[in-house]
Amino acid sequence: MEEDLKAKILNSIAADQPEMLEFTKDLIAIATENPPGAFYKPCVDAIRRKLSEIGLECQTIAVPNHSSTGEAGRFPRYCLLSSYGTGTRTVYFHGHYDVVPAARLEQFQPYLEGSHLFGRGSSDMKSGLAAMIYAVKALRTANIALHGTIGLIFVPDEETGRLLGTKYLADIGMLGKNGIGMLMPEPTSGVIWNANRGAISLRITVKGKPAHVGLQYEGMNAFEKMLPVANALLDLKQKVEATVTTYRIRPEAARRSILMLGGRSEGGNNFNLVPGAFSFTVDRRINPEEDFEVEKRRLLTLLD
């Protein structure tokens, strides 16, 4: 009987594969870069239409972001909730539709190369969103009775801390209600991870004094002042990344703690001007055994 159910599900997935591919391409083509989040609404609309096509109702929640500053304050954020089945016991499929900024706009033009689909967000995680939806569609097509509910959650802002996505749903009591488990189709090279890293993100700005290159002696070079700071952090990076989690994660290199420098760096105005300011980011990902406050204090003490 179980093999019969499995065959029905796999047959449904196989039949939907061309449609699933086209839907994933459609999602990739929507430039949901975060920051700034300017094209979140078209993506949410596309997901909502697909859910409606397969017979699922959904709820769109506009996230209040009037207190946010910068780019997040200019563009609305939306969470999308749907479900299949009845009963209170719920297994959640949870995914985010934002992507890290592209290096060039062509990255939002999806293309196939052999059996691989390329494009910004193809792995992280537009294909995961399609998998969530079509997994439920396969269950519906196979007419499989569930002993509970599958909850579908689509959120923004995963790439920038989840404050206006996952955290907001948690704050209003709509994340994981009656949940007995949650599956997140994040790209992990096919490996199931059973733990989650914490994150400490910083932007460090070193200030100087601008001046023309011919009068550089009147200025103060912020880039040069930044180098000792970066070098001190590189020394800390060696110590941090010698720490290895006890969780069984593959490959071995993925078990190390993380300290990444310069994900975003900027400063100066022109080649012939002494830079008056220079900034760079620090992204510290802590393993479950590490203490957030201890590691945060370690970073700030070094900077002090």
Q: Which long-range contacts (CB under 8 A, 24 or more apart) does 220-223 make?
A: 220/274, 220/276, 221/274, 221/275, 222/267, 222/268, 222/275, 222/276, 222/277, 222/278, 223/267, 223/268, 223/275, 223/278
User: How many other CB atoms are found less than 10 A from the CB of residue 144?
Assistant: 13
As given in the structure block, the two tokens for residue 179 are 């949940």
The sign of the dihedral angle between the CA atoms of 278, 286, 197, 258 is positive
User: What's the farthest any 2 CA atoms get from each other in the chain?
Assistant: 83
Would you state the structure tokens that stand for residue 250, as one six-digit string? Answer: 């593959």
Is 98 an annotated catalytic residue?
Answer: yes
Catalytic residue among 98, 124, 157, 295: 98
Spot the catalytic one: 16, 26, 158, 159. Answer: 158
Residue where the block lists tokens 């949650």: 182
Task: Pull the structure tokens for residue 39.
Answer: 């094209």
Q: Does the annotation mark 158 as catalytic? A: yes
Q: Catalytic amino acids? A: 98, 158
